[in-house]
Structure 1
Amino acid sequence: MTGPWLGAVADDLTGACDLADAVSEQGESAIVVVGTPGGPPPACGCAVVALKSRTAPRAEAVGDSLTAARWLVEAGCTTIYQKYCSTFDSTDEGNIGPVADALVQLATAGRAGPAGGAPSVGTPATPRVGRTLYQGQLFVGRQLLSESPLRDHPLTPMRDSDLVRVLSRQTRATVALVDWNTVAAGPERIHAAIDAARRTGAGHVLVDALTETDLDNLATALLRAPTGDAPLVAGGAAGLAAALARVRGGGTPSPGLNRAAARAVPAVPNGRRLILSGSCSARTREQVARFTGPLVSLSPVDLDADFGQTVDAVLAAVAEAYRTTDDPVLVSSSADPVLVARYDSQLGPGRSAELLEAAAGEIAARAIATLGVRRLLTAGGETAGAVVRALGLGVLRVGPAVGPGLPWMVPDPDPKLAILFKSGNFGEPDLFHTAWKLAP
């Protein structure tokens, strides 16, 4: 296998794994590289760089994203993909627009011909998980984004469903929309609409999509478009990335043999199972409520009072639970928005999240080192990022998936652990009980 053709810059780890899962489902091999990369990537068709840039300071997010994109271009990627959440998690001061601006400038700098001034093109629509875009309005299932539980997200409250308007507040470039009637008319009409937007000076183009067929039409238009020697800059959630892989592979999902090969990972030693839940999303709180095994609560107030003693007490409680059961143990700091606001008021803005992330990383590292944990499920992007930093993980390979966007990941080249990084709103309500059935 040669180097990757698709290179993605993801703004958090769970999103990176989601995209890698979607591409692997099409029979394309994918890896996730944690943090700013160095050295050549392992053999794969898709390389995804997982950053912690969604809520990072703007200059840091842009700088890290450019470093990742340059590495991907040098690795031979002909398509650079900006991966952001399917719910477009980003405040008006957020990073989706600035990063998109930077990626377009990188792709087109100093290049003449048809690629000059080419906009980024993308959509957050991922119909397989109920995310659709119509007339520029983002829907979560049957609800407008602004009417969904995401309106009260503690870090990125999404109270405007009009993504053209949201993105326009983050960039000086013009943001255009290709509406659904154009998308439904097929790839040629989509390509013509994107070209018209380019000629009128649009820097970014958002595209409506309601179905997988819509995404395939968009992917076909993008892959057929002439770009000279410049990489294509696309963007969105996992749905469009999967469509790009599907269309490039012939227009239909690859046979099961290829799909299985794309998810092949080494066997992981047997060991104990641990869940670290830090997400405060409605779905994660439902999953915590459904869990009937041993549960250990983690409080930022206790951590603030005595961090070391609190972490020691949590690990002692986990060890005690393992003495009486072979079931997974859940350590949870998930809380409803009212309680999160109370913590921020009591401890100061951001202090609660900082403490909980640090604790999650330390608990994971010590549980693996001293308690024999070999299968770990994390809930929430910030929790996932803290865990991989604490464990010093570099490259992850995609294993079996327990649901859309929920693959088990195995470190490369040292497969001593299997980890499932769950995005806050993903997974069935009983996931904390069922996820282990397909664990490597």
Structure 2
Amino acid sequence: MTVELGVIADDITGACDVAAGVTAAGIGAEVRLGVPDPTVPPSAACVIVALKSRTAPAAQAVADSVAAARALRAWDARRLYQKYCSTFDSTDRGNIGPVADALVDEWGAAASVGTPVTPAVGRTMHRGHLFVGDRLLSESSLAQHPLTPMHDPDLVRVLGRQTPHRVGLVPIESVRAGSAAVVDAVRELRADGTRHILVDAVTDGDLDAAAAAVTASDDLLLGGAAGLAVALARGLASGTAPAVDPVPDGRGLILSGSGSERTRAQVAAYPGPRWQLDVDALAADPDAVVAAAGAFIDAAGGIPLVSATADPHDVARVQERWGRERAAVLVEEALSRIAAAAVARSGVRRILVAGGETSGAVAAGLGVSTLRVRRVAAPGVAWTTAPDAAGRALDLCFKSGNFGGTDFFTAAFEDEPA
């Protein structure tokens, strides 16, 4: 199998976002969790490596990303794509800039070209300023993100603080003039010593023009959110629909660890049985909390929801008491253990997880290593199939906290194809 597009994603939900999009565009995709073994051949034209590097120390993020690039090179990947969040989640220390610098060097690229624009989920960029819906990034709820608060909407400035190299912009006027104009703009920026190039875009048509331009050159590191990757896939699609795996039989379960505004609304709207994790109780006796959650799942009818999602004031209180890192680890480890126990003892085979860090922890706890897209459930969200460490077939939906409608927790389990 020729790997047309090799993607390195900084978290699992971002990887599944790309997988959902390229599958909908007609390209088969698989997600490898963690740095892959290059001796195990891929089975899809698009391979997405899902790392846990978005908020990791920069040195670790760089090392894992370079190792993933080497695996993709061993598979003769034709193009390399650095996937980051559509809201550019990062800090002034990185990790988008340091990883881009390392991948440019590792891949032997002349420059990186990318954009976080994904119109399907309301992410657009004009004059280098990122919008979330009709609000600047700095005026959206992402300004209060507990790990990567985004206070500056000017991504040329943001990326410029993460790298010692020059950052430039292809403005919307060049994009609207067509792919040839984008090629010229990129060439001029490269000639001027610019190493990292961001591209304005507002519509899918803008992304198609950018995709046509960047694929005209074979010495670029591509990058951005799922939008540009999907535009690339549209140009590669053969018209043959990828094979679809069957739905595993078994109970459903929802696990929510995201603190995003969207996920809070989804938890509040969910009409099924709910159980709230208590972080104070977790700190005192995690085994007792995990056991209580398991008893709730066993007794619940329908599809139970186990949630650590809370109001920002409550999150701040917990972080102040236990520390930000310890509070996060307590929740992630608990939800991971709850998922593993539900599969092993409660007959659960279908699990929806909200939140990137939570999704990574749950995937690790289940021992899954490769995900195959089964069905796109919403823009940027897919159901995927994977065997767990014991060989049991699972149906897994790893969702970014900001994705899906308010009723997503209910709708995701409905309307399955016959």
Common fold: TM-score over 0.5: yes
Q: Structure 1: how far apart are the matches of 2:243 and 2:258?
A: 27
- Report the residue type matching 1:14 in the other structure: T
Residue 265 of structure 1: aligned partner: 245
Alignment map for 1:391-430 (pairs within 5 Å): 391-411=366-386, 414=391, 416-430=393-407
Shift of residue 315, structure 1, vs aligned partner: 1.1
* 1:375–1:439 contact (8 Å) kept in structure 2: no
Q: Provide structure 2 residue ranges, at least 5 long, that are not aligned to the other structure.
A: none
- Report the residue type matching 1:330 in the other structure: L
1:215 pairs, out of 207, 217, 224, with: 207
Alignment map for 1:93-104 (pairs within 5 Å): 93-104=93-104
* 1:408–1:439 contact (8 Å) kept in structure 2: no
SS of residue matched to 2:324 = coil
SS of residue matched to 1:172 = coil
Residue 122 of structure 1: aligned partner: 114
* 1:82–1:236 contact (8 Å) kept in structure 2: yes
Shift of residue 307, structure 1, vs aligned partner: 0.8
Q: Structure 1: how far apart are the matches of 2:18 and 2:339?
A: 24
Q: Structure 2: how far apart are the matches of 1:334 and 1:431?
A: 15
Q: Tell me, yes or no, if structure 1 residue 170 matches structure 2 residue 162.
A: yes
Residue 346 of structure 2: aligned partner: 371
Report the CA distance shift for 1:304/1:237 in structure 2 as closer, same or farther (over 3 A): same
Shift of residue 91, structure 1, vs aligned partner: 1.1
Residue 17 of structure 2: aligned partner: 18
Residue 72 of structure 2: aligned partner: 72
Shift of residue 310, structure 1, vs aligned partner: 1.1
Residue 305 of structure 2: aligned partner: 330
Post-superposition Cα deviations, 1:204-257, rounded to whole Å, max 9, x if no partner, equal: 0000000001000000011112x3xx5x310000000010111233xxxx65xx
Alignment map for 1:170-209 (pairs within 5 Å): 170-209=162-201
- Report the residue type matching 1:278 in the other structure: G
- Report the residue type matching 2:222 in the other structure: A
SS of residue matched to 2:93 = coil
SS of residue matched to 2:414 = helix
Residue 40 of structure 1: aligned partner: 40
Shift of residue 349, structure 1, vs aligned partner: 2.6
2:318 pairs, out of 335, 343, 352, with: 343
Superposition CA RMSD, Å? 1.4
Residue 260 of structure 2: aligned partner: 281
Deviates more, 1:341-350 or 1:212-221: 341-350
Alignment map for 1:78-157 (pairs within 5 Å): 78-108=78-108, 118-157=110-149
Post-superposition Cα deviations, 1:79-123, rounded to whole Å, max 9, x if no partner, equal: 100001100000112200000000000121xxxxxx6xx110000
- Report the residue type matching 1:9 in the other structure: I
Q: Structure 1: how far apart are the matches of 2:303 and 2:387?
A: 24
Shift of residue 415, structure 1, vs aligned partner: 6.1
Shift of residue 332, structure 1, vs aligned partner: 0.4
Deviates more, 1:403-412 or 1:179-188: 403-412
Q: Structure 2: how far apart are the matches of 1:211 and 1:305?
A: 50
Post-superposition Cα deviations, 1:369-393, rounded to whole Å, max 9, x if no partner, equal: 0000011000000110001100111
Post-superposition Cα deviations, 1:240-276, rounded to whole Å, max 9, x if no partner, equal: 0010111233xxxx65xx3xx32511341x2111000
Q: Provide structure 1 residue ranges, at least 5 long, that are not aligned to the other structure.
A: 109-114
- Report the residue type matching 1:17 in the other structure: C
Report the CA distance shift for 1:146/1:176 in structure 2 as closer, same or farther (over 3 A): same
1:236 pairs, out of 178, 201, 224, with: 224
Report the CA distance shift for 1:353/1:263 in structure 2 as closer, same or farther (over 3 A): farther
Report the CA distance shift for 1:415/1:83 in structure 2 as closer, same or farther (over 3 A): farther
* 2:118–2:228 contact (8 Å) kept in structure 1: yes
Q: Structure 2: how far apart are the matches of 1:295 and 1:248?
A: 43
* 1:186–1:217 contact (8 Å) kept in structure 2: yes
Residue 298 of structure 2: aligned partner: 319
- Report the residue type matching 2:62 in the other structure: V
- Report the residue type matching 2:32 in the other structure: V
Aligned residue pairs, count: 414
Shift of residue 42, structure 1, vs aligned partner: 2.3
* 1:54–1:95 contact (8 Å) kept in structure 2: yes
Q: Structure 1: how far apart are the matches of 2:328 and 2:416?
A: 29
Q: Structure 2: how far apart are the matches of 1:247 and 1:299?
A: 48
Q: Which runs of 4+ in 1 moved over 6 A?
A: none
* 2:25–2:234 contact (8 Å) kept in structure 1: yes
Q: Structure 1: how far apart are the matches of 2:384 and 2:221?
A: 27
